[in-house]
Amino acid sequence: MSHREPDPAISPQPDRADAASRTRAARTRRFLEAPVAPTLARLAAPNIVAMAVQCAMSIAEGYFAGQMGVTALAGLALVFPLVTLTQALSAGAMGGAISSAVARALGANNESRAAGLVVAAWILAVSIAALSAVLMALFGRPILGLLGAGGGNAVDAALIYAAVYFPGCISLWLCHSTLSVLRGTGNMVAPAVVLVLVSMGSIPLSGAFGLGWGPFPALGMAGLALGMVIAYGIGALAAIAYILSGRAGLSLRRRPPLAGSGLFADILGVGLSASLNSVLTILTVVAMVGLVGRHGEAALAGYGLGARLEFLMIPIVFGIGSAMTSMVGANIGAGQRDRAIAIAWTGSLTAAAIIGGIGVVLAINPDLWLLIFLSQDQTETLAVGRTYFHTIAPFYFFFGLGLALFFASQGAGRMLWPVTGSICRFLIAFGGAMLLGRATDLGIQAVFIAIAAAMLIYGLVIAIAVRASGWR
Q: In the predicted model, what is the mean pLDDT of residues 293-308? A: 78
Q: Within 13 Å, how many C-alpha atoms sit on residue 346's CB side?
A: 19
pLDDT, residue 334, reads: 86
Task: Give CA–CA dist 157/6, Å, rounded.
Answer: 71
| Mean pLDDT of the 264-290 span | 84
Positive or negative: CA dihedral 45, 101, 174, 284: negative
Q: What is the mean pLDDT of the chain?
A: 87
335: left (phi over 0), alpha (psi -120 to 50) or beta: left
pLDDT greater at residue 453 or residue 249: 453
pLDDT digits (tens, 9 = 90+) for 120-156: 999 999 999 999 999 999 998 888 887 665 456 888 8
Tell me how far apart the alpha carbons of residues 321 and 207 are, in angstroms, rounded to a whole number: 30
- Cα 396 to Cα 19, 267, 360, 420, 443: the distances in Å are 43, 30, 8, 19, 22
User: How many residues are recorded in the chain?
Assistant: 472
Does the pLDDT of residue 465 top 90, yes or no?
Answer: yes
pLDDT at 457: 96
- Asked whether the predicted pLDDT for residue 239 surpasses 80, the reply is yes
Beta-carbon contacts of residue 6 (< 8 Å; ≥ 6 apart) = none
At 1 the pLDDT is: 44
CB burial of residue 110 (10 Å; 0-12, 13-18, 19+): middle
pLDDT value at position 123? 94
Is residue 240's pLDDT more than 90?
yes
pLDDT at 13: 43
Number of domains making up the chain: 1
Angle between helices 337-364 and 444-469 (to 10 degrees): 160
Q: Is 383 exposed, middle or buried (0-12, 13-18, 19+ CB in 10 A)?
A: middle
Residue 168: partners with Cβ closer than 8 Å, 6 or more residues away: 225, 226, 229, 233
CB-CB contact of 281 with 134 (8 Å):
no
Give yes or no for residue 46 having a pLDDT over 60. yes
Look at residue 412 and tell me if it is in a domain.
yes
pLDDT for the residue 462:
95
The Cα–Cα gap between 28 and 34 comes to: 10
| Per-residue pLDDT band at 8 (split at 50, 70, 90) | very low
Average confidence (pLDDT) over 187-216: 93
Predicted local distance difference test score (pLDDT) of residue 258: 62
Question: What is the model's pLDDT at position 15?
Answer: 60
**What is the spatial distance between Cα 452 and Cα 428, in angstroms, rounded to a whole number?**
9
Range name among 39-43, 290-294, 358-362, 456-460 with the lowest pLDDT average: 290-294
How far, in Å, CA of 285 to CA of 287, rounded? 5
Range of the domain at 180: 16-469
With 50 as the cut, is the pLDDT of residue 7 above it?
A: no
- The angle formed by the CA atoms of residues 52, 58 and 61, to the nearest 5 degrees, is 145
pLDDT for res 143: 83
DSSP string, 185-227: TT--HHHHHHHHHHHHHHHHHHHHHHHT-TTS---THHHHHHH
The pLDDT-based confidence of 328 (bands split at 50, 70, 90) is very high
CA 123 – CA 267 distance, rounded (Å): 12
Residue type present at position 94:
M
Q: What's at 209, amino acid-wise?
A: F
Within a domain: 2: no
In a domain, 5, yes or no: no
pLDDT at site 223? 95
Q: What local confidence, expressed as pLDDT, does residue 236 receive?
A: 97
Tell me what the mean pLDDT of segment 278-291 comes to. 79
| Percentage of residues of the chain with pLDDT beyond 90 | 45
Q: Does the structure show a pLDDT above 60 at 12?
A: no
Q: How far apart are CA 374 and CA 73, in angstroms?
A: 10
User: What residues contact 112, with CB distance under 8 A and at least 6 apart?
Assistant: 254, 256, 257
Question: Is the pLDDT assigned to residue 252 strictly greater than 80?
Answer: no
Position 9 in a domain? no
Residue 256's pLDDT is what? 59
Q: What integer is the mean pLDDT of 291-300?
A: 77
Long-range CB pairs of 129-133, under 8 A, 24+ apart, other chains included = 129/169, 129/170, 129/172, 129/173, 129/174, 130/170, 132/86, 132/166, 132/169, 133/166, 133/167, 133/169, 133/170
Residue 3 lies in a domain: no
pLDDT of residue 6: 46
34-55 CB burial, b ≥16 within 10 A, e <16: eebeebbbebbbbbbbbbebbb
Write out pLDDT tens, residues 360-412: 999 999 999 998 888 888 888 888 889 999 999 999 999 999 999 999 998 88
Answer whether residue 10 is part of any domain.
no
CB 173 within 8 A of CB 126: yes
**What distance in Å separates the CA atoms of residue 417 and residue 344, rounded to the nearest whole number?**
14
Q: Is residue 6 part of a domain?
A: no
Local confidence band at 5 (pLDDT 50, 70, 90 cut-offs): very low
